[in-house]
Amino acid sequence: MQELATENPGLYRNFIRIMEELFNEIVEHVTPYIKKTLTFWRRPIEPGLRVAITPCYLATGESYRSLSYQFCVAANTICSIVPEICRAIAAAYGDEVMQVPSTPEEWKEVARVVDAEYKFLYVDVGAIGSESDGGVFAKTQLGKMLDRHEAKLPAPERSPNETEDKPPVDYFFTGEDAFALKKYMMKPHPARWLTKPECIYNY
């Protein structure tokens, strides 16, 4: 891997799915969570190798058996490595890179910088694949907090360009058509036979 990183960074990124600098940072951050004890009976697989296997599996969906040939690690060992590294990454980076706002002021800050750059503030993993997005969201901790009015969203305010005679507007999330229309969740009109105002609204 070191030779590949030195001679062809593009191929290195294509193989590991992340650049060398980020890979090294991840290894450094998660090593305290995954370090194994060297014993007389076995030599543990080094943290860098265990970390390298995980993004390859997550990004490609290759089987454990296929990855076992690429990394020279037994498939039954890889099946325990991947969840272990995922848990370590979540433990090492969770509070740093992914924080759900917990006060009205923090939600307002999100509203001021919201964009389409796919920045994650909340992730929920483990739902059944056939369940709808709206159904999955409703069962998450965040979805339940919003339904119970416990998420501490800011009080309604007028939009920046609205005049005094306009009523204040609730803070809300936007979701696709699979989500239920609620006070805190706006969604587009269904995409069939739309009127011009409905098209403008969706846009």
Residue 1, class by beta-carbon neighbours within 10 Å (0-12 exposed, 13-18 middle, 19+ buried)? middle
Higher confidence at residue 3 or residue 69? 69
Residue-wise pLDDT tens digits, 78-93: 999 999 999 999 889 8
Residue 36 and residue 201: Cα distance in Å, rounded? 56
Residue-wise pLDDT tens digits, 118-135: 777 888 877 777 888 889
Residue-wise pLDDT tens digits, 2-43: 888 888 888 888 888 888 899 999 999 999 988 776 666 677
State the pLDDT confidence band at 52, using cuts at 50, 70 and 90: very high
Asked if residues 124 and 140 have their Cβ atoms less than 8 Å apart, the reply is: yes
Q: What is the pTM of this model?
A: 0.62
What does the pLDDT read at residue 200? 93
The two structure tokens encoding residue 78: 């890889």
Residue 131 and residue 14: Cα distance in Å, rounded? 32
The domains of the chain are located at 2-92, 104-202
Q: Where are the alpha helices (DSSP H) in 8-165?
A: 9-16, 20-34, 47-60, 64-71, 75-97, 104-113, 133-139, 141-147
Residue 53 and residue 71: Cα distance in Å, rounded? 7
Angle in degrees, CA 44, 60, 135, rounded to 5: 105
Spatial CB neighbours of 191, under 8 Å, sequence gap ≥ 6:
177, 202
Asked if residues 142 and 107 have their Cβ atoms less than 8 Å apart, the reply is: no
